[in-house]
């Protein structure tokens, strides 16, 4: 059955396919991974149908293989993302993303009176809950929950 499925996004020879990204998070994922700043070929599909997510997005990045700590950064916006590592058009490895115990940058503390929202500095969080995610700011110690999570 798998083989009959029409490909909405062209296959890549070598690289990484990031699947099961919520459509609304596509551009966050691109930003977090810095895909808008690389020279390799990137193709993506947006608002594809998904039983699980309703609308999903998929990104195919040629010739790039992400390290765990790099790819885990997208877990805040795409917790169900699946990675297929491609070599010579074949999937040689499948990976999932894991929410790390600490988050550096990426997220914004929801406390408007937190120093991290006023100074040019990197935000730091301890992940106190993973699902739904809750982040404790290293500076003001306030909790930012999933509902108020802003990614930049």
Partner 1 sequence: MKNRSLVSITDYNQEEMLQILDLAAEFEKKPNQDILHGHVVATLFFEPSTRTRLSFESAVNRLGGRIIGFSDSSSSSVSKGETLKDTILTVSNYSDLIVMRHPLEGSAKYASEVSPVPIINAGDGAHQHPTQTLLDMYSIRKTQGRLDNLKICMVGDLKYGRTVHSLLIAMADFNPVFIFIAPEELKMPEEYKILLDNKGIEYYEYKDIADKMDDADIVYMTRVQKERFSDPLEYEKVKNVYILRNSMLDKTKPSMKILHPLPRVNEINYDVDTNSKAYYFQQAQNGVYTRMAIISKILGVK
Residues that bind partner 1 (CB under 8 A): 111, 113-116, 118-121, 137-142
Q: Give per-residue burial for 68-91: e unless 16+ CB within 10 Å, then b.
A: eeebbbbbbbbbebebbbbeeeee
Please report how close the Cβ of residue 113 comes to partner 1 at its closest, in angstroms.
Answer: 5
- Strand-pairing partners, residue 83, are 18, 95
Task: State in angstroms the smallest separation of the CB of 127 from partner 1.
Answer: 17
Listed in sequence order, the residues at least 6 apart from 111 whose beta carbon sits closer than 8 Å to its beta carbon are 117, 137, 140, 142, 144
- Which lies closer to partner 1 via its Cβ, residue 16 or residue 116? 116
Rounded least distance, CB 141 to partner 1, Å: 7
Query: CB of 115: closest distance to partner 1 in angstroms?
Result: 4
28/116 with CB nearer partner 1: 116
Query: Given the complex with partner 1, which of 92 and 115 has the nearer CB atom?
Result: 115
79 contacts: CB under 8 Å, gap ≥ 6: 97, 99, 131, 133
Indicate the residue among 27 and 139 with the shorter CB distance to partner 1: 139
**What is the spatial distance between Cα 55 and Cα 53, in angstroms, rounded to a whole number?**
6
């Amino acid at each position: 059955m798998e083989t009959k499925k029409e490909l909405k996004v062209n296959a890549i020879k070598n690289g990484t396919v990031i699947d099961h990204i919520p459509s609304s998070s596509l551009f966050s994922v691109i930003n977090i991974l810095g895909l808008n700043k690389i020279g390799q070929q990137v193709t993506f599909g947006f608002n594809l149908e998904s039983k699980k997510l309703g609308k999903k997005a998929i990104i195919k990045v040629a010739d790039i293989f992400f390290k765990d700590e790099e790819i885990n950064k997208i877990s805040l916006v795409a917790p169900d993302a699946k990675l297929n590592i491609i070599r010579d058009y074949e999937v040689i490895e499948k990976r999932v993303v894991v929410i790390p115990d600490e988050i550096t940058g990426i997220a914004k503390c929801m406390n408007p009176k937190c120093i991290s929202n006023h100074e040019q500095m990197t935000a730091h969080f301890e992940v106190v809950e993973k699902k739904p995610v809750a982040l404790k700011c290293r500076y003001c110690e306030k909790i930012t929950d999933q509902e108020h999570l802003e990614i930049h």
